[in-house]
Amino acid sequence: MITRLGAVSTFGGTPGEPWEGLSALTAPGPRYLLIESRSPMESPDVGAFADLAAGLADRGHPVDVVLVQNAVLMARAGAAGPLPALVERTGVTVHADDHSLVTRGADCADLIADVRLCNAAGLVELLLTSGCTPIWH
Amino acid sequence: MELITGAPDRTLLLVLMATPHEADTATTMFRLADAALRAGHRVTVWTCGWATGLTLRSLGGAKPRNLASWSIDYPSTARLADDLIAAWPDRLTWVVCRFCMYDRGTTDQPDNVTLAPSRRFGRYLADADQSLMMGVM
């Protein structure tokens, strides 16, 4: 990001002075709500979606990842997938939908550490948080 | 993080795309709509593609009997939608994309849904405080 901004700054303004658009691009942007509905066994795009979450967090955006439907299967302790690395990222909070877990026979008490349980009301609350940009996959 | 839980009466647009029966996306949509309405918000559901069939009158009020649970009455999606609209007549607007409806022959719609031309999608989007596109066309 800084490299890109540095390149952009050479296109206008006085060389050596900060580009006037710098503050806008480096200011805290929207918070993102990434809703994953698929499991890694269904779609290889699940890994790319996790990469997107990590990339947004790396650029300073707060990111909430909510797992619904089959995606909750990767929240189980010991399950394969991109989640263990993602929950350790600064700025990323991962939630798993309780209804989706229960309807798949999963144990809500045996999830990957730091994955939070949520329900539909919690997801609505996240959706209607000011400045939230939701993306469904 | 600024939550709007103390300021209800926001409008949430839920857009259900494509085939809702390949996963439990329709269930997630019903749960989100119900939770948002209970929290005091307004909800607009826009159904596109085969999701226009969720409210078909020909579905009747119940699903075919489940051989494994013979005595249980499983409501059809048409009844779930009808019950939700009846419970929140002033806060829930259920819109069926007219183009998709004609394209797929899902024309047997009840009177309590709104049939809208696809170009009106932009108006619903502009009127909403938040929107969520669910599924992939």
Residue-wise pLDDT tens digits, A52-73: 999 999 999 999 999 999 999 9
**pLDDT value at position A10?**
34
CA distances from B102 to A117, B38, B56, B106, B122 (A): 41, 33, 13, 6, 20
Q: Do A128 and B129 touch (CB under 8 A)?
A: yes
**Residue B117: pLDDT band by 50, 70, 90 thresholds?**
very high
Cβ A53 vs Cβ A85: under 8 Å: no
**What integer best gives the mean pLDDT of chain B?**
92
Arithmetic mean of pLDDT, B106-125: 97
Tokens encoding A124: 């609505």
Report how far residue A111's alpha carbon sits from residue A82's, in angstroms, rounded to the nearest whole number: 14
Looking at residue B47, what is its pLDDT? 97
Per-residue pLDDT at A12 exceeds 80: no
Bigger pLDDT: B66 or A25? Answer: B66
Average pLDDT, chain A: 83
pLDDT, tens digit (0-9, with 9 covering 90-100), for A82-133? 999 999 999 999 999 999 999 999 999 999 999 999 999 999 999 999 899 9
Looking at CA atoms only, how far is residue A21 from chain B in angstroms?
Answer: 25
Check whether B133 has a pLDDT greater than 70: yes
DSSP H or E stretch at residue B132: strand B130-134
Residue type, B93: T
Report the pLDDT value the prediction gives residue A29, as an integer from 0 to 100.
63
Considering only the beta carbons, identify the residue of B24, B130, B134 that sits closest to A136. Answer: B134
pTM of the model: 0.85
Place of tokens 């829930």: B92
- Cβ-contact B121, B17 below 8 angstroms: no
Cα separations in angstroms, A55 against A48, B5, B7, B66 = 10, 29, 32, 46
pLDDT recorded at residue B9? 86
| Cα B12 to Cα A123: distance, rounded to the nearest angstrom | 12
pLDDT 10s digits, A20-34: 443 444 445 689 999
**Per-residue pLDDT reduced to its tens digit, B27-48:** 999 999 999 999 999 999 999 9
SS3 content of chain B, % helix, strand, coil (to 5): 40, 20, 40
Distance, CA of B29 to CA of A93 (rounded, Å): 22
Residues of B whose CB is below 8 A from A36? none
Q: What is the pLDDT of residue B7?
A: 61
pLDDT on residue A13:
45
Q: For residue B137, what pLDDT is reported?
A: 62
- In three-state secondary structure terms, A43 is coil
Q: Which of A75, A127, A125, A130 is nearest to A97 (CA)?
A: A75
Of all residues in chain A, the one with the smallest CA distance to B12 is A128
Write out the two tokens for B9.
Answer: 């009466």
List the single residue in B with minimal CA-CA distance to A30. B1
**Average of per-residue pLDDT across B84-111:** 97
In this predicted complex, what is the ipTM?
Answer: 0.89
- In the 8-state DSSP scheme, what is residue A38? S
Query: Considering only residues 29 to 68 of chain A, which have any Cβ-Cβ distance to chain B shorter than 8 Å?
Result: 31, 35, 37-38, 62, 68
